[in-house]
Amino acid sequence: MLTLEQKREVEEFLYREAFLLDEMRFDEWLDMLSEDIEYTMPLREHLQGDVEPAGHPIIKDDKLMLTMRAKKHETGLSHVEIPRSLTEHIVTNILIEDGDNPTELRVYSNFLVRQARKLRDEAWWAGRRKDVLRREDGGWKIARREVLLDSIVLPRGITIFF
C-alpha cells in the first residue's frame, strides 16, 4: 500500500512533467525519463473477427529518438513548430499500483491536450497513459509509457509529447 505522501509525490511528479511540456522545457523533461525508456503509442483501429494485430505502432521511441525529436524543434528550421504550438496538458484520473518490483510503480492517467497553432488551427487530443515509474537516485523516472490516443483518424500530425 502506498502512503498518502507517496501518492502525492507521484501526482506532483506528473503535474511537473505536464508543466515542463507546456513550458517547452524539453531538456528538463527528458531528464524525467530513464535512460532505457520505452515510449510507445499503439495504432487504434476498429477490427472485426479474426485478424492480425497492427503491423507497427504509431510511435515506438527510445530516449535517443525522443531527444532527436526535441532537438529537431531547436534547429529553428522545424516548420511544423514555427511558431511554437501552444499546449495545455490536463492530466487527471491518476491511479497508482505496485509495480513488478519494489523500485517500480504502475501509474495510469488520463489526459486532455489542447494544441493551438498559429491563428486558428487547433487540435484536441484525448487519451490515457500507462506508465511505469522507477525510483532512481532518490527521485522518480518514467521508465515506460504507453499512450493510448482516442483517435482513429488523427486530427493532425503529432509533433508534441503526451
Binding string, residues 50-89; x marks residues near another protein by CB under 8 A: xxxxxxxxxxx---xx--xx-xxx-xxxxxx---------
Beta bridge partners of 134: 104, 141
Question: Is 142 in contact with 131 (CB distance < 8 Å)?
Answer: yes
Grid coordinates in use for 63? 530516449
Binding to another protein, residues 102-131 (CB under 8 A): 117-119, 121
CB of 78 to another protein, least distance (A): 4
Alpha-carbon gap, residue 86 to 88, rounded angstroms? 7
CB of 36 to another protein, least distance (A): 14
Measured from the CB atom, the residue of 86 and 95 that comes closer to another protein is 86
Phi, psi of 160 (to 5 degrees): -120, 175
Start-to-end CA distance of the chain, whole Å, equals 28
Q: Is 159 in the site for another protein (CB under 8 A)?
A: yes
State the residues that interact with another protein by CB under 8 A. 41, 43, 45-60, 64-65, 68-69, 71-73, 75-80, 117-119, 121, 152-159
